[in-house]
Structure 1
Amino acid sequence: MMTPTKDEVGATLSSSTDADGASRSKARDVARGAVELPLHLTEKILCCINPLASARLATVCKSWAATISERLARPVPHLFVYLPADNKSDRRGRVVSVPIAYDGDDDVGGAPPVPAVIPNRVLLADTNGLACIGAMPSGHLAFASWWSKILVLINPITGARQSVQAEEPRRSLVLAAGGGDSFISVGTDEHILSRRAGGGEEWSRWTVPAAAAHGIVNIISAAVCSGGCFYILDDDGYVSVIDVAGPPPLRMEKLPVASLFDGDHAVASPAVLKPPTKGHLLESDGEVLFVRPVLAFKDELFGAGGGTTFCNHDAAVFLAVLGFEVYRLDMKDRRWAKMEKLPGDRAIFVSPGSSFVVRTSETVGCRSNWIYFVGNKWYCSLCNRDAGKAWGVYSMEDREVLFEHAVTEPGPCSAATWFLPRVV
């Protein structure tokens, strides 16, 4: 065997060193986005990561950014679970990715998929003393309090934060579903409507006198934007409309439609919670929908632990979701028409402060004629404890609740709301 010469050894070492240096240089270029990875490698790596969790990797290289952008172009609804303040963390709450495609069949794999927790950027410092009152179409969560003059909007994925002036005096803030981001500062003598469309930064505002019946201004329980109008549901089940595109002065006109809580629309079964449970106003292809849960009510003080006492207070209640009722506002016949199924490829997501309709053909995993909901069964308003929040599915076709699964543990009352994540 021939022994390499000194010059050959030096050349080999030099070549090896050059190769290592080239590899390190290429790695630096990839990190800076100067080199694109092969598409098949990009997709193979990113398919193992939740789309939202992968958003922060978009700066790695151009091919990663392109793949991530495509995955996020059609957002899938996630839950934001708003938890009590925790001194051990600077974050407030968590983003939860639940298995939207799961159909309740535990026989496959023995158990439902475990929800994935996504890092969120809602900071305790930005939300201290504020409550999460819901989510907006832009993907921002809304935080406010009865005493605050500011509505704080935070994107839990990107951390983008904006403060919006909330007019005073007011009785409450109500987020409006549908259209662009919008909310109503509910006052005693007048209401202030605020809306921004198309993801812009500028807000349009309108002042409308509060409509009064017998000298009493009813409480606004829900609102929705559709076709340039605000539709407002009051505490008595009547709907009023405000056409912000109409000539001034703006007026809030009560529609000649029967109350959603009386007559044919009243919950008839003696087993359900009385008085009738308030529901949600939604917009679907220019139509206004009303969705209401039907809840069984029991006066038993037990918890989910098989006979374990949940609470010693008389205020503790047990609620079970029996189903949902869906109505469509028929302006021609001036009535709420009950719907047995949703038109086309539609699914509904309902939660306190945020409810919306999605196209299942554009939302990965969603099933047509399903209503995705969140709530809790046991709660006590006196000790501020509940049995944990749960998410579930009601099938309008089968007319039954297919399943419910917990997303939080029993303890201090938490809140959970659906939102459509946005990264731009």
Structure 2
Amino acid sequence: MAPTKDEVGATPSTDADHASSSEVGDVARGPAVELPLHLTEKILCCINPLAAARLATVCKSWAATVSEQLARPVPHLFVYLPADNKSDRRGRVVPVPIGCGDDVGGARLAPAAIPNRVLLADTNGLACIGAMPSGHLAFANWWSKHLVLINPITGARQSVQVEEPRRSLVLAAAAGGDSFISVGTDELTLWRRAGDDGGEEWSRWTVPAAATHGIVNIAWAAVCCGCFYMLDDDGHVFVIDVGAPPPLRVEKLPVASLFDGDHAMAVLSPATKGHLLESDGEVLFVRPVLASKDEVGRAGGATTFCNHDAAVFPAILGFEVYRLDLKDRRWARVKKLPGDRRALFVSHGSSFAVRSSETAGCRSNCIYFVGNKWYCSLCNRDAGKTWGVYSMEDREVLFEHAVTEPGPCSAATWFLPSVV
């Protein structure tokens, strides 16, 4: 039935405007009329695209709008929670208002119901180590022979067999394809599959240990212009060009470490040190600027929540961004994000760049981050995960909101949902 004047916000009706009951009945028996496109877009823009997918069957205009929204995915958070015997699912998908987080006064918004198809049976004993560009979450542990990939929206599952024994498995940030690196005792293996459809076919390249120039532990990796870029725990840069004629060679770039002389950063975990990612054909390193324990206390922020000596994850005050300058072989400080109105999303195991002009509500020249301030390994509790936005133009954190409540340890990672 077509909307009335009152429903579309037209001028108020009068008695003369009301039709007789017989006239109304004739209208009701008439052919269905689709809503104007601008009204359809307003309605569906208020609904999370993933939750609105089931509404595509309502009418042609709704189907067109939903399809357009799904073609331009908005980053979501996957919160990986401890096993819950009351549910067969592991974790939950959380849509966050990336365009209006500071306009809600810090109030917790009730997220739309998003299906999560990560089953406990598929992930029991495995940790979520990050997300792939195809929208698949990656699950593994240090002794596992397989990397398990699961699409949390569709439930599609794939297992990739990796070599054993190995010292580490690191996801590689990339645009337009899934990639990861397996560091074994006798070799280094690079894995990649092109495209965003999450296909089954993987390409792999093996580099003998003798040719890896003493790489011991890769903390970060990114694929850019056909090359795998890797950083170790000390911040040294290595590169492998998989398009070069065999045998593959590892080059250690003569670039000063970002951690040289920074002893406070050196003792923190790689996840706290920063994030490596690709953006418009360039390799970027995003490093948080952290407050000390005393600064957090003076700000009236986090307080201990148990009787143990809890380890402190300092509060995030801001970020520094560096670009790998291959010509001058150095890390160059970036004050404005390059490219078409770019924004960065950074989290442990998953960091990527998006065009804000193609991402609904996204702020350009900003860094969307995941935070955590307190953690106690003895009681396996933390103060809960947060998400926030740092403006590179204003050089300040615009807002930071809670994702989970204090309690059992959890993890949160950004991912781009896919319905393929």
User: What TM-score comes out, normalization by structure 1 length?
Assistant: 0.83
> Residue 299 and residue 380 in structure 1: after superposition, are their counterparts in 2 closer, same or farther (change >3 A)?
farther
CA distance in 2 between counterparts of 1:146 and 1:392 reads: 30
Letter in 1 for 2:331: W
1:359 to 352, 355, 358: 355
Letter in 2 for 1:314: D
Letter in 1 for 2:267: P
Give 1:404 deviation, angstroms.
Answer: 1.1
Partner of 2:329: 334
Give 1:68 deviation, angstroms.
Answer: 1.5
Give 1:127 deviation, angstroms.
Answer: 1.0
Partner of 1:385: 381
Give 1:382 deviation, angstroms.
Answer: 2.4
2:81/2:411 contact within 8 Å kept:
yes
Partner of 2:255: 257
Is 1:297 the counterpart of 2:304 in the alignment? no
1:395 to 387, 391, 395: 391
Identity level (%):
80
Is 1:230 the counterpart of 2:228 in the alignment? yes
Query: 1:46-85, aligned counterparts within 5 Å?
Result: 46-58=44-56, 63-85=61-83
Is 1:205 the counterpart of 2:200 in the alignment? no
| 3-state SS in 2 of match to 1:283 | strand
Letter in 2 for 1:285: D
**CA deviation profile, 1:335-354 (whole Å, cap 9, x unmatched):** 00011111240111000000
2:265/2:273 contact within 8 Å kept:
no
Give 1:50 deviation, angstroms.
Answer: 1.3
Partner of 1:89: 87
**CA deviation profile, 1:377-409 (whole Å, cap 9, x unmatched):** 111122221000000111111111122110101
Kindly tell me the number of residue pairs found equivalent between the two proteins. 384
Letter in 2 for 1:209: P
Partner of 1:3: none
Tell which deviates more after alignment, 35-44 or 363-372: 35-44
Letter in 2 for 1:168: E
Letter in 2 for 1:219: N
CA distance in 1 between counterparts of 2:347 and 2:47 reads: 27
> Residue 309 and residue 377 in structure 1: after superposition, are their counterparts in 2 closer, same or farther (change >3 A)?
closer
1:173 to 169, 174, 178: 169
> Which one has a bigger Cα radius of gyration?
1
Give 1:315 deviation, angstroms.
Answer: 3.9
Is 1:320 the counterpart of 2:312 in the alignment? no
> Residue 60 and residue 380 in structure 1: after superposition, are their counterparts in 2 closer, same or farther (change >3 A)?
same
Partner of 1:153: 149
Letter in 2 for 1:127: T
**CA deviation profile, 1:227-286 (whole Å, cap 9, x unmatched):** 1100001011101000000011112110111112115xx48xxxx655364211111111
| 3-state SS in 2 of match to 1:164 | strand
> Residue 47 and residue 373 in structure 1: after superposition, are their counterparts in 2 closer, same or farther (change >3 A)?
closer
1:36/1:62 contact within 8 Å kept:
no
CA distance in 1 between counterparts of 2:107 and 2:155 reads: 34
Partner of 1:135: 131
**CA deviation profile, 1:99-133 (whole Å, cap 9, x unmatched):** 101252456xx846444452211111111111111
Gaps of 5+ in 2: 1-24
| RMSD between aligned residues | 2.9
CA distance in 1 between counterparts of 2:179 and 2:266 reads: 31
| 3-state SS in 1 of match to 2:166 | coil
Give 1:299 deviation, angstroms.
Answer: 7.1
Partner of 2:19: none
Partner of 1:32: none
Give 1:45 deviation, angstroms.
Answer: 5.5
Give 1:212 deviation, angstroms.
Answer: 8.0
CA distance in 2 between counterparts of 1:203 and 1:283 reads: 20
| 3-state SS in 2 of match to 1:118 | coil
CA distance in 1 between counterparts of 2:231 and 2:126 reads: 25
2:409 to 395, 398, 413: 413
Letter in 2 for 1:261: F
Query: 1:277-288, aligned counterparts within 5 Å?
Result: 277-288=272-283
Letter in 2 for 1:186: V
Letter in 2 for 1:207: T
| 3-state SS in 1 of match to 2:169 | strand
2:296/2:314 contact within 8 Å kept:
no
Partner of 1:15: none
Tell which deviates more after alignment, 62-71 or 411-420: 62-71
Gaps of 5+ in 1: 1-18, 27-34
CA distance in 2 between counterparts of 1:163 and 1:300 reads: 45
Letter in 1 for 2:183: V
| 3-state SS in 1 of match to 2:84 | coil
Give 1:317 deviation, angstroms.
Answer: 1.7
CA distance in 1 between counterparts of 2:296 and 2:408 reads: 17
2:323/2:333 contact within 8 Å kept:
yes
1:347 to 336, 343, 357: 343
> Residue 387 and residue 178 in structure 1: after superposition, are their counterparts in 2 closer, same or farther (change >3 A)?
same
| 3-state SS in 2 of match to 1:86 | coil
Give 1:90 deviation, angstroms.
Answer: 1.2
CA distance in 1 between counterparts of 2:167 and 2:221 reads: 15
Letter in 2 for 1:330: D
> Residue 104 and residue 208 in structure 1: after superposition, are their counterparts in 2 closer, same or farther (change >3 A)?
same
